[in-house]
Amino acid sequence: MDFIKQRRLMVDLQLRPRGIKDEGVLHAMATVERHLFVSEDLQESAYDDCALPIGCGQTISQPYMVALMTELLHLEGHERVLEIGTGSGYQTAVLSMLASEVYTVERIPSLAERAQALLERLGYKNVQVRISDGTIGLPSQSPFDAILVTAGAPEIPEEYIGQLKVGGRLVIPIGSRYSQVLYQIRRTETGIEKSDSTGCVFVPLIGEKGWKEEGLY
Ligand code: SAH
């Protein structure tokens, strides 16, 4: 498997044609070794145009969705970023290349521990993984320049707005348990500006300010 070539094809066939323009984001997508964030039996599919299972009923997001969400954060390199939903750690690695500090919160300990070990092994040094309910953000480390939520929420938890700097961006899928719309929200001096981007399907954001847990995974 020529993974370098597969990444180049992913960028040229899946990302650029759909309008991803930020060269920093495209470079990060061409660099981060996505196949290392999935189980060995799925490595050959790692650069396909889809989400993939990562265990515990969770998924690594589709490459295009990772690129789009990252682009919507408008990162320049100096930011402190909060990610909710570490999952495999893949999106975290992409953020780590584009920001100064990345905090990432995961509610399922086994996923958080695996992601932390992998990110450490791969040398992503500006990342801190926390195990907690991310629906209340990460108050101890706020304020953030950008917050990215990689699970679908029923509505915008107020806490996220409160933990953004003025001018800070929040990207979050909002909708039902099974389908959402991706929103980009900017905190202003007086409130928020909100715009919607595209339809999407994420696993549910589960917790105090999100969905209730449903059965076992
Ligand atoms: N960014 C991840 C996508 C993971 S899917 C990646 O690149 O692989 C979304 C993740 O959000 C799942 O791992 C799920 O367990 C987690 N999640 C759901 N509700 C959460 C909550 N309240 N706090 C933290 N993580 C949560």
Mean pLDDT of 189-194: 97
What is the per-residue pLDDT for 60? 98
CATH 3.40.50.150 fits 51-200, yes or no: yes
Overall average pLDDT of the 12-37 stretch = 98
pLDDT at 213 > cutoff 90: no
Strand, coil or helix: 59 = strand
Instruction: Give me ligand 1 centre to Cα 210, in Å.
Output: 12
Best of 205, 208, 209 for a ligand 1 pocket test (most atoms within 8 Å of beta carbon): 205
Report whether pLDDT(9) > 60: yes
Contact 158, 177 (CB under 8 A): no
Q: Check pocket membership of 113 for ligand 1, CB cut-off 6 A.
A: no
Q: Answer yes or no: is pLDDT of 214 > 80.
A: no
Residue 217 predicted with pLDDT over 80: no
Distance, CA of 93 to CA of 183 (rounded, Å): 22
Kindly state the percentage of the chain with pLDDT values over 70: 99
Task: Using the atom order of ligand 1, give the atom closest to the CA of residue 111.
Answer: 13
Question: Domain-by-domain residue ranges, the chain?
Answer: 51-200
pLDDT at 182 over 80: yes
pLDDT > 90: what percent of the chain?
A: 97
Task: Over range 147-171, report the average pLDDT.
Answer: 98
Q: Is 85 in the pocket of ligand 1 (CB under 6 A)?
A: yes
Contact of 177 with 211, CB cutoff 8 Å:
yes
Beta bridge partners of 149: 84
Q: How far apart are CA 11 and CA 64, in angstroms?
A: 9
Using CA atoms, how far apart are residues 41 and 146, in angstroms rounded to an integer?
A: 34
- pLDDT tier at 38, thresholds 50, 70, 90: very high
Q: Mean of the pLDDT values across residues 135-148?
A: 98
Over residues 55-60, the mean pLDDT reads: 97
Which amino acid residue places its CA nearest to atom 13 of ligand 1?
87
**Model pTM above 0.95:** yes
Q: How far is the CA of 54 from the centre of ligand 1 (A)?
A: 11
- Catalytic residue, candidates 45, 61, 88, 100: 61
- What mean pLDDT comes out for the span 4-25? 98
- CA distance to 132, 206, 217, per residue, from 192 (Å): 26, 24, 36
Average pLDDT over residues 136-149: 98
pLDDT tens, residue by residue, 86-107 = 999 999 999 999 999 999 999 9
The pLDDT mean for the chain works out to 97
Question: What local confidence, expressed as pLDDT, does residue 193 receive?
Answer: 98
> Given ligand 1 and candidates 135, 136, 206, which is best to mutate, with the most ligand atoms within 8 Å of its CB?
206
pLDDT tens-digit map of 105-141? 999 999 999 999 999 999 999 999 999 999 999 999 9
Question: Is 216 a residue whose pLDDT tops 60?
Answer: no
What is residue 215's predicted lDDT score, i.e. its pLDDT?
A: 59
- pLDDT value of residue 46: 98
